[in-house]
């Protein structure tokens, strides 16, 4: 039996390929608000669960990932989404577009891989957690020197389940050892000659 999918009013009025460009630190949507599902074309998105005690880290979305898919069933977002790097988003499904079985399976498989990646970032040696996060952020690059936007220490600490001080020490070590190299006055760093996590 198929679940009926809600179609928020914002979907009906949205152009089929309306892109959104989100600056780092900007909220993409709030938990409980109405909206549509988005595919992350570039950048990184932090997802948080909001409770009476406040917000807690719930997940990470990167290039190719879909966020807000729950709106197709419930009509509203379950999490708060915020850009932790400059992002470009596009609607995952345009108004009236049917979702094929292959597309749905591909999205579900990708979401499972991302959940496994995010879980792996919260266990093991501190330095390795931070290094793997940097590798994930650079995963859509295939050259030897991959420019990446580094999130703030607070976000990196929440994602890796470390303190900000520990993340700062790990980042300093990555720079000292040449794994991360500053490129002039740019905000991003370059990840030099490192392999990404399995499955990226």
CB atoms within 10 A of CB 183: 11
CB atoms within 10 A of CB 150: 18
| pLDDT score of 8 | 44
Domains delineated in the chain: 9-102 (2.60.120.10), 121-192 (1.10.10.10)
- Separation CA 153–CA 172 (nearest Å): 12
**Per-run averaged pLDDT (10 residues), the chain, 200 residues:** 43 60 96 94 93 89 92 92 95 63 71 84 93 84 64 95 96 88 64 48
- Separation CA 47–CA 31 (nearest Å): 10
Q: Determine the length of the chain.
A: 200
- Separation CA 197–CA 91 (nearest Å): 28
Q: What is the pTM of this model?
A: 0.78
Q: What are the distances in angstroms from CA 183 to CA 104, 145, 146, 190, 192?
A: 39, 11, 11, 7, 12
Q: Is 107 helix (H, G, I), strand (E, B) or coil?
A: helix
| Tokens matching residue 38 | 């988005």
Give 90-110 pLDDT, tens digit per residue.
998 754 455 555 666 777 777
| pLDDT score of 99 | 58
Q: Which residues contact 63 (CB under 8 A, 6 or more apart)?
A: 40, 41, 42, 43, 139, 140
| pLDDT score of 162 | 97
| pLDDT score of 181 | 81
The angle subtended at Cα 37 by Cα 77 and Cα 24, nearest 5°, is 80
Q: What are the distances in angstroms from CA 31 to CA 48, 134, 199?
A: 9, 27, 30
Beta bridge partner(s), residue 50? 55
Q: Which residues contact 125 (CB under 8 A, 6 or more apart)?
A: none
């Amino acid at each position: 039996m198929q679940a009926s999918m809600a179609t928020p009013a914002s979907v009906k009025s949205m152009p089929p390929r309306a892109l959104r460009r989100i600056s780092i630190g900007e909220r993409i949507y709030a938990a409980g608000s109405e909206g549509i599902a988005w595919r992350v074309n570039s950048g990184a998105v932090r997802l948080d669960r909001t409770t009476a005690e406040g917000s807690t880290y719930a997940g990470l979305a990167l290039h190719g990932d879909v966020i807000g898919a729950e709106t197709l069933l419930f009509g509203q977002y379950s999490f708060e989404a915020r850009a932790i790097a400059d992002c470009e988003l596009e609607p995952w499904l345009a108004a009236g577009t049917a979702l094929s079985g292959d597309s749905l399976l591909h999205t579900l498989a990708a979401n499972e891989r991302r959940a496994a990646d995010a879980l792996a970032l919260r266990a093991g040696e501190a330095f390795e957690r931070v290094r793997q996060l940097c590798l994930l952020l650079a995963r859509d690059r295939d050259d030897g020197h991959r420019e990446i936007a580094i999130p703030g220490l607070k976000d990196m600490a929440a994602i890796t389940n470390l303190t900000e001080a520990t993340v700062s020490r790990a980042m300093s070590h990555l720079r000292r050892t040449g794994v991360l190299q500053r490129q002039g006055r740019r905000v991003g760093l370059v990840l030099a000659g490192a392999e990404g996590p399995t499955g990226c």
